[in-house]
Amino acid sequence: MTREIDLEVTAQLLTDLAMGIAVHRLYGSDHPRTGQVLANAHRSISHALNTIPGGTLVLLDLDGDLVVHDQPMGHLGSQALTVGRAMRRAGVERFTLRKGLRPDELQRILAFLADPSGDPPNTPHVTAGRARLAGGEEGGGEDGISRLPHTVLRDRVALAGEALEAIAAGHVEGLAVAEDVVEELDRLATDGLSGPALLAPLDDREGWPAVHSHNVAALAVSVARLLGLPREACLDLGIAALLHDIGRYGARDEWLADLEREDDVLEGDPEHPVTGLEIVLGLPGVPRLVPIVVFGHHRRLDGSGRPALADSRSAHPAAAFVGAVEAFDILHTVRGPSGRMTREAVIAWLQERSGRSIDPFLVRLFEAILH
């Protein structure tokens, strides 16, 4: 009987592996950020190998379900999805890792999963098994997953999601990666790409948290640039927008259930602003705007909204702005059984609430940008 690994150890291991894959895609192997993430991943995998009798750990992809040391990992959400998808794209169905794994061996694994060219790595402490692709050809099976080309947009969304998962789990290094994502969005906005052109589509339901967080940040940074705000202010607003729903990352199932709701998108889960505030207040060096936005993005112009306060003050302008951007992304990207709405329908929705729930200036701003 195989001894189970502690759930926290497994979750940390998959978080570090997923982030390692993402940063290799974005930065390559030689970037300092990649080195930092590699060190974290090597530390957590070595810890896991030291706790297992025999010092051997097997990662297995079974028709889309990631299994680690005989334990299904689907309940761990995006970390398991990221690692499992990377293995399927690479055509590898299993990795066997052994005690004594060296950092350079781990780097070869992460680099291969980020860009699966050539043969999978097999070293003294790593054994990889390549799955046989349908028809014996590279290019993937009917599900369209194997060997999908990596796009800059998808890599950026994946990196944002992994950074937020890390932050929500209390790993402060995720903030530096989140800052890198926002700096890239700011660079694209400075180069002339408008907010709508930066938005990521929703490919699958499980990807919603990362897609939504990315899209809110992308639109916020783009609009801030169009308004002529200084670069530092744009970056601070982008970080705040990216982290606005950080309090929901500990309740994925409830968050995903919101995709089926048809009520007012301005309401939101009443608890996550407070939970999010507790998380970001524990982050050293976080911009001052972040806790303001995280706590207040569901407050309304008339003083109502969540969380309920003793005095009926309206939201801080930055929080109100991010709240409006969030509403746009929810309505335009996905909205329950009725499906996504056109930009024109979203603008009409915002206009209906102008002066009551949403600042008229923000509504006019969206009209000008999105028409």
Q: Say yes or no: 273 and 314 in one domain.
A: yes
Task: Tell whether 223 and 353 lie within a shared domain.
Answer: yes
In this structure, the answer to whether residues 167 and 48 fall within a common structural domain is no
Full pLDDT tens readout for the chain, 371 residues? 344 567 778 888 888 898 888 888 888 888 888 898 999 999 999 988 888 877 888 888 766 677 887 677 766 566 777 788 888 888 888 888 989 999 999 999 999 998 887 788 888 898 887 543 333 333 333 322 222 233 467 778 888 888 898 898 888 888 888 998 899 899 888 876 666 778 888 877 778 888 999 999 999 998 888 888 999 999 999 999 999 999 988 776 776 766 665 555 555 566 888 999 999 998 888 899 999 999 988 877 766 667 666 566 667 889 989 988 888 888 877 754 455 677 778 788 888 888 877 888 888 887 776 66
Has residue 143 been placed in a domain? no
In a domain, 292, yes or no: yes
Claim to verify: residue 130 and residue 161 sit in the same structural domain: no
Q: Could you tell me if residue 144 is inside a domain?
A: no
Residue 186 belongs to domain with CATH number: 1.10.3210.10
Within a domain: 37: yes
Total domains present in the chain:
2
Q: Do 93 and 50 fall into the same domain?
A: yes
Q: Which of 82, 105, 136 marks a domain boundary?
A: 136
* SS3 labels along the chain: CCCCCCHHHHHHHHHHHHHHHHHHHHHCCCCHHHHHHHHHHHHHHHHHHHHCCCCEEEEEEECCEEEECCEECHHHCHHHHHHHHHHHHHCEEEEEEECCCCHHHHHHHHHHHHCCCCCCCCECCEEEEECCCHHHCCCCCCCCCCCCCCCHHHHHHHHHHHHHHHHHCCCCHHHHHHHHHHHHHHHHHHCCCCHHHHCCCCCCHHHHHHHHHHHHHHHHHHHHHHCCCCHHHHHHHHHHHHCCCHHHCCCHHHHHHHHHCCCCCCCCCCCHHHHHHHHHCCCCCCCCHHHHHHHHCCECCCCCECCCCCCCCCCCHHHHHHHHHHHHHHHHHCECECCCCCHHHHHHHHHHCECCCECHHHHHHHHHHHC
In a domain, 2, yes or no: no
Tell me: do 117 and 168 sit in the same domain: no
> Does residue 347 fall inside a structural domain?
yes
Q: Same domain, yes or no, for 37 and 71?
A: yes
Q: Is residue 330 part of a domain?
A: yes
Last residue of a domain, one of 136, 164, 189: 136
Please give the residue range of the domain that contains residue 232. Answer: 152-370
Whether residues 261 and 305 fall in one domain: yes
Residues 323 and 241 in one domain: yes
* Domain identity same for 116 and 174: no
Whether 255 is in a domain gets the answer: yes
Same domain, 284 and 249: yes
Q: Do 309 and 251 fall within a single domain? A: yes
Of 136, 165, 184, the one marking the end of a domain is: 136
